Amino acid sequence: MKKSILCCLSFLFFSSINAVNINESNFLEFLSNKNYFSAEFVQTTFKDGQERKIKGEIIANRRGMFKVIYLRPLNEIISSNGYQLYRLDKEIQQLDISAIDATFSESPIGIFSSNKEELENLFTVQGCLIDADIVTCVLEPKSDESFLKLASIKLIKEDLNSLTYIDSFEQKVVLDFSFVSWDRISDNAFMLEIPEGIDVVNH
C-alpha cells in the first residue's frame, strides 16, 4: 500500500539554523526542528518517457500524523494518526484501515512526519548545494530495502519549494509545493470524515 502513496510529503519551531548556514551536517536537524508542515502540491511522475500530474494538499507533524488529499485526477485521501493508516477511495466508496508499516517512514512522507532520531536513523545527507537563497540537499536512505533510492529537497530561503525523488520502481517523482506553512496544526485537522455508505475494510 505504501508504494502507491504520495510520497510525498514538517513544522513550527525555528532553531538557530536557517537557510544561510544549512549544510550536510545540520540539515536533518533543520528539518526536525520544524514540527508542522502544510502545503498544496503538484506531483509529477516521470516513467518511460511519459508523465502524470496529480494535484493535492498535505498536512503533517513530527508525531507521525499526516493527511494527504489527492484532488485531481484522483479523489482519494490517505491519512495516519501515527498508529494506523487510513485510505479513503471515494470513487469505489471504500475505506481501508491497517496498522502503519514500520517501513512506511522510509517513504517520502516520512521526511515530513518522522522525528529527529528517526530521520537520522533513516537517512544520510549526501551533500547540500547553496546558491544565494536556494539550498538543495540530497538524502540517501540507509536501508537497501527503502522505497526511496534518492531524494532531493529544495528550499528557497526557509520555504520548502520542492521534493524530487527516485523510487524503487525507477520512477522520478517531483513534488512542487505552494502555499507552504510551518504554522501549528490542530490534531483535529488530521481526523478523517467518513461519508455515509462507505465500506470499511480492516486489514
At residue 198 the predicted structure's pLDDT band, cuts being 50, 70 and 90, is confident
At residue 17 the predicted structure's pLDDT band, cuts being 50, 70 and 90, is very low
Q: What is the pLDDT of residues 150-179, one digit of tens each?
A: 999 999 987 899 999 998 888 999 999 999
**Strand-pair category, 76-81 with 50-61:** unpaired
Contact 59, 192 (CB under 8 A): no
Instruction: Tell me which of 22-36, 62-76, 99-113, 176-190 is least confident.
Output: 99-113
Contact 96, 5 (CB under 8 A): no
| 165 closest CA partner among 147, 150, 185 | 150
- From CA 14, how far away is CA 182, in angstroms rounded? 9
Residues 6+ apart with CB under 8 A from 138: 125, 126, 127, 128, 150, 151, 152, 153
Query: Which grid coordinates belong to 99?
Result: 496498522
**Strand-pair category, 50-61 with 65-72:** antiparallel
Q: What is the pLDDT of residues 42-70, one digit of tens each?
A: 999 998 889 999 999 999 999 999 999 99
**For residue 195, is pLDDT > 90?**
no
What's the pTM value of the predicted model, to 2 decimals?
A: 0.84
**For residue 6, is pLDDT > 50?**
no
At residue 38 the predicted structure's pLDDT band, cuts being 50, 70 and 90, is very high
Q: What is the CATH number of domain 2-122+175-202?
A: 2.50.20.10
Query: Which grid coordinates belong to 95?
Result: 475505506
Query: Which grid coordinates belong to 36?
Result: 508542522
- From CA 118, how far away is CA 126, in angstroms rounded? 17
